[in-house]
Amino acid sequence: MMLRMRGKMKKGIVRFAKIWFCIGLVAALGIVGRRGHRTAVRNSLSIPTGRKPLPEKWVIGQVSGVCVDAQDHVFIVNRSDMTDKEAEVAEQAPPYIEFDPDGNMVNSFGDWKVVPNITHGCTIDYENNFWTAGNGDGIIQKYSHDGKLLMQIGERGVVDTSDGTLKGRALNSSHSQFYILPI
């Protein structure tokens, strides 16, 4: 019995390690594949002078991620944290917003009911897809450049803990969910 439990634990640890290895590999390939472009962006990207208003009285919350694509378009990850006063006169901007090099908003996407509970971070891969994850649940999402959800790993609002919430004891036993222990 004890040997069987050790075998299952070992398989779970190996599977968990493989998942994180794959995530690390995707991140490393994205960095290596774009290394030359990143240098060019740093040398050519100009910061527009003058503020350009967002459409429809949008309010942006905390910006919890910024990434740049091959066309020097800047994507921001917006958090849904409007104040009560802001909500009286404006509406929450979409989760992900794209700006051209001149600072004009050219695209926005994401459904607050589908994105991670607490949006956080982004990267653009070599195929110009937008990747993001979040805090508060264990999902990773991949969007096409125009904002169509292509893939999701994990389930929104579900974490691998003893009670299924962030307050529960981490089990780290799921084969389909991510959960990072709090620091």
For residue 34, what pLDDT is reported?
Answer: 43
DSSP category for residue 37:
H
Q: Which of 146, 143, 138 is nearest to 174 (CA)?
A: 138
Tokens representing 62 are 């905390």
Parts of the chain with a pLDDT under 50 = 5, 14, 16-18, 21-22, 25-26, 28-47, 49-50, 183
pLDDT of residue 87: 87
Q: How many angstroms separate the CA atoms of 67 and 131, rounded?
A: 10
Question: Is residue 80 a contact partner of residue 61, using CB atoms and an 8 Å limit?
Answer: yes
The C-alpha angle with vertex 180 and arms to 113 and 118, in degrees rounded to 5, equals 25
What pLDDT, on the 0 to 100 scale, is given for residue 37?
40
Q: What is the pTM of this model?
A: 0.68
Residues 6+ apart with CB under 8 A from 141: 115, 116, 131, 132, 133, 149, 151, 152, 153
Per-residue pLDDT at 170 = 78
Q: Which residue has the tokens 């990207």?
A: 45
Supply 154's token pair.
């994990």
Q: What is the pLDDT of residues 50-91, one digit of tens each?
A: 457 788 789 888 899 999 999 999 999 998 888 888 889 899
- The SS3 assignment for 165 reads coil
- What pLDDT does 74 receive? 94
Which token pair is 56?
């429809």
- Cα angle 110, 115, 120 (rounded to 5 degrees) comes to 100
